[in-house]
Amino acid sequence: MGSAYEEKVYQRALYLEFQKNKLRFEREKEIDIKYGSVTIGKKKLDFVIENKVVLELKKADEINDVHIAQVVSYLKTMKLNLGLILNFGMSKLQIKRVITESTEK
């Protein structure tokens, strides 16, 4: 598809591919943001696949430390340890694997 579109377009395409390949996934999964034990906000994750992998989509010049920190936060909140960042903002798809320490569920 190239790098001409906004993130939502790639999200829709991946949604169709995940369905076609019969993957279990949640699109725009809403999670609570907590401060201590108090919920202070909510965030929607692009995808959670097989309840194991957080997938975050970007359209940026490059994947940077802020993107990685964002996914690490999501992984900790979800008590998962594997995330992927897909960046569609470059001429070639950029993929970054993000791993956190093993977390008990």
- Tens of pLDDT, residues 47-99: 999 999 999 999 999 999 999 999 999 999 999 999 999 999 998 999 999 99
* Alpha-carbon separation of residue 71 from 31, 87, 105 (angstroms): 13, 13, 17
Q: How far is CA 2 from the centre of its chain?
A: 20
pTM of the model: 0.90
DSSP 3-state assignment of 23? coil
Q: What pLDDT is stored for residue 21 in this prediction?
A: 97
Q: What pLDDT is stored for residue 104 in this prediction?
A: 55
Q: What pLDDT is stored for residue 3 in this prediction?
A: 84
Q: Yes or no: is domain 7-99 CATH 3.40.50.720?
A: no
Q: What pLDDT is stored for residue 30 in this prediction?
A: 96
